[in-house]
Amino acid sequence: MSIADQQPMMTRLDAIVREHGFEHFGFAELETPISIDLYDQWIDKGYHGEMKYLARHKRDKRQPNAHFKRARSAIVVTQDYVPHPSPIAEWPLSDSIRIAGYARGKDYHRFLHNKLRALCAKLSEEFPGEEFLSFTDAGPVLERDLAARAGLGWVGKNTCLIDRKRGSLFFLGEVYTSLELPVAKLTSEEVARDYCGTCTRCIDACPTGAIVSPREVDARKCISYLTIEVRDPAPLELREKMGPWLFGCDICQTVCPWNVRFHGKEKLDVLHPEPNRADLVEDLRFLLTSPNRNLERVFAATPLARVNGMGLKRNALTVAGNQRIHELSDLIKTFFDNPRLGQLARWAFEKANSDNKAE
């Protein structure tokens, strides 16, 4: 099919994607990712930590159509999350407790996946005989590589995909399709084009030093990994560096000049305002006193469900220690005999009472 013959198809495809709420999207050929060797090296260094599934995904990431033999192209979409596109009416915590911006609402694995499924259903109707399969972060897809090849941005020094007009505070989603789309095939040099320049704000701002070199993150040091991906408390040498973060972290994004330019410093400051101590105390009290099942029910529709009730209590104890919340000393002591959290509770109690400064 000539490019001229394909133009009506691309025009209709473009319209359908926009009709389903995606304004920023692109198309890419499904082929071996340009960054796959770097990914393999990252795995070999052990930087993925306990996320063993990332190592298991290596073959499928190298061969994007390994399980979808007819797949030829990908539609890559973004979804901004500042402000959050799917907020929760009665969020149980104040803004004084630090939670990554993407997690302050419904879980994107659900609402973005539903949007993509609806898109696939419409595309299947419009293009009978063709196949469409959607992914939202959970699949074996090198998303940022694919998005960069679709012209949606470049991989910054913090390893996030950054767009010069939209920053990086957005979700990525993909639709693999059997359609052979007339995409512009970018060279590895074009995909690797860098607009970070000499800026190192993300590297300098990371409290735990997780960005070990430009575009290389040791997940084992990352606050997001430590608060979400692992079961045990963070190592002592990293624990105090985690500061007030209960779930996730987006420091390396909110300091990025491209996000400041797009969103404005005021909007980013609102995302994580200076904490009010009284509110923070009550947030932590709620987390530490609520039964685990109640916490899991309250946060069931949000990303916080990833860590379950015990994980939220673990993270709350870390915050209580780091923020010297001596007001909760008696409550912290009730965890001393907990087989999973006892050591952490003793550490938090010691830190909370190490001085009498009310911050």
Provide the residue-wise pLDDT of the chain in tens; the chain has 359 residues.
545 567 888 999 999 999 999 999 999 999 999 999 999 999 999 999 999 999 999 999 999 988 789 999 999 999 999 999 999 988 999 999 999 999 999 999 999 999 999 999 999 999 999 999 999 987 899 999 999 999 999 999 999 999 999 999 999 999 999 999 988 776 667 666 789 999 999 999 999 999 999 999 999 999 999 999 999 999 999 999 999 999 999 999 999 999 999 999 888 988 888 889 999 999 999 999 999 999 999 999 999 999 999 999 999 999 999 999 999 999 999 999 999 999 999 999 999 999 754 44
25-29, strands of its sheet edge to edge: 25-29, 73-80, 170-177, 132-135
> For residue 83, is the peptide bond before it cis, meaning its omega torsion is within 30 degrees of 0?
yes
Q: 255 phi and psi, to 5 degrees?
A: -90, -10
pLDDT at residue 5, as a whole number: 64
* Per annotation, catalytic residue among 137, 194, 204, 337: 137
- Measured between alpha carbons, how far is 150 from 246 in angstroms, rounded to an integer? 34
Element (H, E) at 132: strand 132-135
| 216-217/170-177 β-pairing | unpaired
Give 88's DSSP letter: -
Q: Which of 25, 38, 50 is nearest to 112 (CA)?
A: 25
pLDDT at residue 203, as a whole number: 98
- Measured between alpha carbons, how far is 173 from 74 in angstroms, rounded to an integer? 10
Annotation marks residue 283 as catalytic: no
To 10 degrees, the CA torsion angle through 171, 105, 286, 359?
A: 60
Q: Which two tokens stand for residue 273?
A: 């305002």
pLDDT at residue 9, as a whole number: 87
pLDDT at residue 359, as a whole number: 43
What does pTM read for this prediction? Answer: 0.94
Q: Which of 54, 62, 225, 74 is nearest to 148 (CA)?
A: 74
| Ramachandran class of 218: left when φ > 0, alpha when ψ lies in -120 to 50, beta otherwise | beta
- Measured between alpha carbons, how far is 178 from 133 in angstroms, rounded to an integer? 9
Q: Give the other-Cβ count within 10 Å of 140's Cβ.
A: 18
To 5 degrees, how large is the angle CA 150–CA 160–CA 24?
40
